[in-house]
Amino acid sequence: MNSISGPSAPAPVQNLEWVFNPTAYMERAAQQYPDLFLTKAFGLGSQLVFVNHPQAIQEILSNDRKDFTAPGDLNTILTPLVGNTSIFLLSGEPHRRQRQLLMPPFHGDRMKVYGQLITDLTHRALARLPLQQPFLARSAMQSISLRVILEAVFGVQQSAEGGWQRS
C-alpha cells in the first residue's frame, strides 16, 4: 500500500475536512487521485483506500474473497448508522453466513428487474412532487428508498387504497 498516494495533509486536518465538508473532501481527492487514493481521515489509527476505477472495483467485488478482505472491526465508525450486528461490522464466518443470506437477490437478471423497479418508483415519486414549489429532496429520496426496500427486498406493494400487501 505504500505506492498508493493520497491527500498529504495531516490526519487531524483531513478529519476536519471530512467532518465539515465530506463531499468537497472526497471530490477533491478523487480529482487529484482519480483511480484510487489513500486517506488518513476518520481517526481510525489506520489508513483507508478509496477505489474509483471501475475495473478495479469489479476486480475487488468479483475476485476470490481470500484476495480481498474488509475486516468488520475496521468499520466500527459505521456502528451509529448500521447498528452493532450489521454485515459491515462482521468478519470471518459470521460475515460469510450473513453474506450468503443476502446475495441471492442481488444476482444477474434480478438486478435488471430491480433497476426497472427503481426507475418506475422514482418516476411515480417525482410525479407526486409539487411543480415550481420547493420540496424536501431528502424526504422524497427516503420515500423512494423505503418503497424500493419494501418492494424489492420484502416483496410488499402498496395497494390502490394505500395499504401494503405481499405480492
Answer with the one of 79, 102, 125 that is the final residue of a domain.
102
Do 48 and 10 lie in one domain? The reply is yes
Nearest to 113 by CA among 155, 80, 81: 155
Classify residue 61 as exposed, middle or buried by CB count within 10 Å of its CB (0-12, 13-18, 19+). exposed
Question: Same structural domain for residues 62 and 112?
Answer: no
Give me the residues of the chain with pLDDT under 70, please: 1-2, 42-46, 64-70, 77, 81, 105, 159-165, 167
Q: Please state the pTM of the whole predicted model.
A: 0.46
Q: At what angle do helices 108-127 and 137-148 cross, to 10 degrees?
A: 140
Residue with cell 418492494: 151
Domain boundary among 86, 102, 118: 102
Compute how many other C-beta atoms are within 10 angstroms of the C-beta atom of residue 37. 19
The total number of structural domains in the chain stands at 3
Task: Report pLDDT for 45.
Answer: 60
* pLDDT given at position 123: 94
112 plus 160 within the same structural domain: yes
How far apart, in whole angstroms, are the C-alpha atoms of residue 17 and residue 5? Answer: 18
| Spatial contact of 58 and 75, defined as CB atoms under 8 Å apart | no
Chosen domain end from 60, 85, 102: 102
Ordered alpha helix ranges (H), the chain: 11-20, 22-32, 54-62, 79-82, 92-102, 108-127, 137-148
Instruction: Give the residue among 147, 89, 91, 138 at the shortest CA–CA distance from 120.
Output: 147
User: What pLDDT is attached to residue 165?
Assistant: 67
Query: Are 45 and 86 found together in one domain?
Result: no
* pLDDT of res. 1: 43
76 sits in the region (left: phi over 0; alpha: psi -120 to 50; else beta) called: alpha
pLDDT for 69: 67
Looking at residue 119, its pLDDT comes to 92
Boundaries of domain holding 38: 1-68
Q: Are residues 76 and 26 in the same domain?
A: no
Regarding whether 121 and 89 lie in a shared domain, the answer is no
